Amino acid sequence: MTTESKRPTPPDWAGRTSPLLFIYEYIGICIIAIAVQRYIGGHLFAYALPGVFYFYFKARSMKYVISDSDVYFSPSIGDDEAITVMLTEIQAIQVVDRQPWKFFGLGTIILITNPDEEMQPCIKCVNDPHGLASSIRTKAYALGSPSIPIDTI
């Protein structure tokens, strides 16, 4: 069985990124549009709403699923290709838990597969990042991986 044949179809996705990923962009676009509309005139706010919706749908673009042997990420925001990370390759997990996303119970999970590389695979702005990191660690441990540390940054 090839890895492509066991890939999930959209109803099987375990989760996706939150639309709050671009909260700063939403607020910035609206503030600029309101200020320009107030001081210059026109209907700029009506033109700004499509920009907000663009960022909203772009933020929802990353989907992920965790199988018994790997973590699969769909193409997303800054990534043009899908990524599959074998659970046995994960050496550490970092949970990025910062405001304002922490207030909404959101965070980012970084899977450290090679500490010497600058870029690591990550799941951006997901619900219950600590629970998801623990689930990944448990599945990796069941495959025979040594204990994987989970750090909060």
Question: Any idea where the domains of the chain sit in the sequence?
Answer: 19-58, 63-152
pLDDT value, residue 106: 93
Q: How would you label 119-136 residue by residue, b for 16+ Cβ within 10 Å and e otherwise?
A: ebbbbbbbeebeebbeeb
72-89, pLDDT tens digit by residue?
988 776 677 888 999 999
Q: Cβ of 79: how many Cβ atoms within 10 Å? A: 15
Residue 16: both structure tokens together: 């996706």
Q: Is 132 left (phi over 0), alpha (psi -120 to 50) or beta?
A: alpha
pLDDT value, residue 5: 41
Q: Cβ of 49: how many Cβ atoms within 10 Å? A: 12
pTM (predicted TM-score): 0.81
Query: Which residues of the chain, if any, have pLDDT below 50?
Result: 1-5, 10-11
pLDDT value, residue 132: 93
| Sequence-ordered list of residues with C-beta below 8 angstroms from that of 13, at least 6 positions apart, any chain | 63, 64, 65, 74
Q: Is 63-152 a CATH 2.40.50.140 domain?
A: no
